[in-house]
Structure 1
């Protein structure tokens, strides 16, 4: 069985053709850009997202023919809004990083609604999630309410947008993992909640049908892509959930960490779980075996911090930054808190801004480079420790993926900070493999998943490192 897995991310869209042995027969990638039109805003063109999906499908299919099925993994919490009659977006898509609704969320929290929302969704009120974004669109985008009244408005996460276009508008659905990240989905009832929508000022009438992750979501329409009509779409998952599945995690214990633009840490829990330590309860996936639940921590700026510091120091890229960092044994007491779009889990401080502390006359560019890598690892450690407090026992280790997981210096720093082994795989496309495996499992086919290729064992860590980081966080938040 050959599955064409679409991995639609923030910085690029990838297509990977996978067979049941787990072999990646073909790859293609198309870059995407993010616009920051105002402070705190972050958005992408939904049209560009779809065009990138068409492009990567074409590159793979033209060389390798028609796949047996399609599976979709996607950037989460990004909201696409379109007119069902024309399939045209009515505005740019506010992505997960967008903070334009921070004040509206703060008002809801001040009014005492956070506990109610957490109880239903597992998620604390935050502009990260699409609920407040949809309310913003209904209030500020011309024609949105008229389209809603005419039953023409469609609003969904990226999986729903890609599915709509693949099927020529015949299928309007999402999976439980993506739905659980909207803050409009009751994770106990497995349905969108009209009460939650009313609280935020949104509306469930424009939302997609939520289904298990291994559903048959629809079939390709003729002319939508280079593929013929009738290729089934057999799985959809949020990219972080797909990565957890791709790492082979099926029981509580290990933690998955994706090192991308931002980071997501996720660990399975025995049942539905609310966090007391700044994390989110979420649905990992739903399949024929039932619903798997998880705890998750989302970091707003993670590996992007290295690119930011590279630009600040005038070096070419994150690889060059790492080479510079290796010229000094440590950060020289410098800390960089990359709160470039506020702080995510477990701190959740939208007002925080990026901060560099601890500089002296002896500070060199190399110390700043080292501090940037350390800032990435420290944020991961914050979430990992919060997870341990929530579950009440030590977690066994970290399984890392994403582009920055290929940075051996960063991974060793991470293992040292956590005091736990960090395992990585040679393949970057672990989310694509995960959703392909989900599609095959739904058909009774067991796909082989990649084994970890490198293990970083914890060594001696600077005993003052965590305390220095905590002090830098306090200054950042002040």
Structure 2
């Protein structure tokens, strides 16, 4: 009997295929790094074919390395970097343009102009829970339609398909038989009405996007089709799709209102489960869909930081201050403090709660005594300060946070998590499985295939690897954070665009 689950975690800098058994225990994984392209300042792109090739390669290799056959896989689930936008030809399957990444800022002027129109901003926020920012898919679709020759005409004729990465991978896996997405990914496009759970005709008109482009929206557990026989040698049922941050919330068993998780990968994403309530933040957070099962929606409140692990990669490439990412932990701990240095990593603008797409990164406090260790430590501290920005916003929106569950590649850094606990003043729990996105995806795929009975089983599967408890003097915490706030203030543009009503 098939009893293994194959989870795909397609991220910003790498693709992973991870095998779990019927008890949701990690068996084996394979990962491949993918290329990011930066053709102009503020532009971030991927090659869609490379995304697909890396996904298929990971699936084939993880099966071979685990000495399993595709017939041993009961279900496949897909989680993905959200918002990243792909348009492709329905007949040939060929991408019309590179995938425009979620960090891409090329549409900032368009978003600002749209937001300045009377009534547009309030309506957009009310319908989508989001803000009018280049982060989301809607303006990226608009850019491709407006700038690639013949694209709009082809879209009007129904010849093109749009998808976030999940939808594109599903199309490829099923040989073009299924053009669908899930509710969490749909909720990040800026075209999906989270109140009515449907594509919104008024928003489509606002962005002048033909409805024929859009995929069908399904629950997170659904029958999404089967992998094409020629790909893996067996038709594997695809039973779950979900955005990576929502997948991590499931993997962290944050399935009750009030529970909070934070994922530290390329960026940082903090998600609060708000149950069946849509909470429109008073503190510049995003209302989003946490998951949708059996047509029942669970909502979330999210804070998004664009640069977290990406700052460590910047230290390695192109600065060469470190040789490998995990060097950052030993270097940060080798000095008592940053020597007064603050790094504001606004390389692609600032996300929540500032939402300033025109802000740019800056280093403050450099002296003749500044060493590379100070800069490395400042980069890690910046991740924690940005997390505190999000926690303050969540608390001001009425949540009661005593413990934060964390995951993602950066969560392996013990020094980082201790400083995070210190600067937040709350307990931090690291999951035993830091691949929480893959775990959540695997659980949902197993749920969709009948291997699990209910979402509540995830609570019993979650285990903490280590607890971090605040040790910093409150006065010191306040002084350090005050320095951060002053540094951020200096990077904000004088007239940051109005993205909230």
Same fold, TM-score > 0.5, yes or no: yes
Aligned mates of 1:253, 1:459 — CA distance in 2? 25
Write out aligned runs for 1:414-429 (5 A): 414-429=420-435
Provide structure 2 residue ranges, at least 5 long, that are not aligned to the other structure. 494-501
Pairing partner for 2:467 from 445, 455, 465: 455
In the other structure, the counterpart of 1:25 is 27
Pairing partner for 1:72 from 78, 82, 85: 78
TM-superposed deviation, 1:334:
1.3
Aligned mates of 1:340, 1:411 — CA distance in 2? 23
Pairing partner for 1:184 from 180, 191, 194: 191
In the other structure, the counterpart of 2:301 is 295
In the other structure, the counterpart of 1:102 is 108
Q: In the alignment, is the contact (CA less than 8 A) between 2:187 and 2:193 conserved in 1?
A: yes
TM-superposed deviation, 1:399:
0.9
Given the alignment of the two structures, is residue 258 of structure 1 paired with residue 263 of structure 2, yes or no? Answer: yes
TM-superposed deviation, 1:430:
1.2
Write out aligned runs for 1:373-384 (5 A): 373-384=380-391
Task: Give the 3-state SS of the residue equivalent to 1:14 in structure 2.
Answer: strand
Task: Give the 3-state SS of the residue equivalent to 2:78 in structure 1.
Answer: strand
Q: In the alignment, is the contact (CA less than 8 A) between 1:288 and 1:442 conserved in 2?
A: no
Aligned mates of 2:432, 2:352 — CA distance in 1? 28
Aligned alpha-carbon RMSD (Å): 1.5
Which 4+ runs in 1 deviate beyond 4 A?
none
- Report which stretch shifted further, 420-429 or 331-340: 420-429
Given the alignment of the two structures, is residue 61 of structure 1 paired with residue 63 of structure 2, yes or no? Answer: yes
Write out aligned runs for 1:390-401 (5 A): 390=397, 392-401=398-407
Aligned mates of 2:425, 2:240 — CA distance in 1? 36
TM-superposed deviation, 1:214:
0.6
Q: In the alignment, is the contact (CA less than 8 A) between 1:14 and 1:27 conserved in 2?
A: yes
In the other structure, the counterpart of 1:278 is 284
Provide structure 1 residue ranges, at least 5 long, that are not aligned to the other structure. none
Q: In the alignment, is the contact (CA less than 8 A) between 1:4 and 1:70 conserved in 2?
A: yes
In the other structure, the counterpart of 1:473 is 488
Task: Give the 3-state SS of the residue equivalent to 1:64 in structure 2.
Answer: coil
In the other structure, the counterpart of 2:237 is 232
Task: Give the 3-state SS of the residue equivalent to 1:266 in structure 2.
Answer: strand
In the other structure, the counterpart of 2:4 is 2
- Matched residue count: 475
Q: What TM-score, normalized by structure 1, do the two folds share?
A: 0.96
Aligned mates of 1:105, 1:233 — CA distance in 2? 36
Q: In the alignment, is the contact (CA less than 8 A) between 1:44 and 1:93 conserved in 2?
A: yes
Task: Give the 3-state SS of the residue equivalent to 1:88 in structure 2.
Answer: coil
Given the alignment of the two structures, is residue 430 of structure 1 paired with residue 436 of structure 2, yes or no? Answer: yes
Q: In the alignment, is the contact (CA less than 8 A) between 1:310 and 1:369 conserved in 2?
A: no
Q: In the alignment, is the contact (CA less than 8 A) between 1:310 and 1:321 conserved in 2?
A: no
Q: What TM-score, normalized by structure 2, do the two folds share?
A: 0.92
Return closer, same or farther for 1:84/1:289 CA change in 2, 3 Å cut-off.
closer
Q: In the alignment, is the contact (CA less than 8 A) between 2:329 and 2:414 conserved in 1?
A: no
Q: In the alignment, is the contact (CA less than 8 A) between 1:313 and 1:365 conserved in 2?
A: no
In the other structure, the counterpart of 1:34 is 36
Aligned mates of 1:70, 1:470 — CA distance in 2? 44
- Report which stretch shifted further, 421-430 or 165-174: 421-430
Q: In the alignment, is the contact (CA less than 8 A) between 1:254 and 1:396 conserved in 2?
A: no
Aligned mates of 1:228, 1:313 — CA distance in 2? 45
TM-superposed deviation, 1:109:
1.3
Aligned mates of 2:208, 2:479 — CA distance in 1? 46
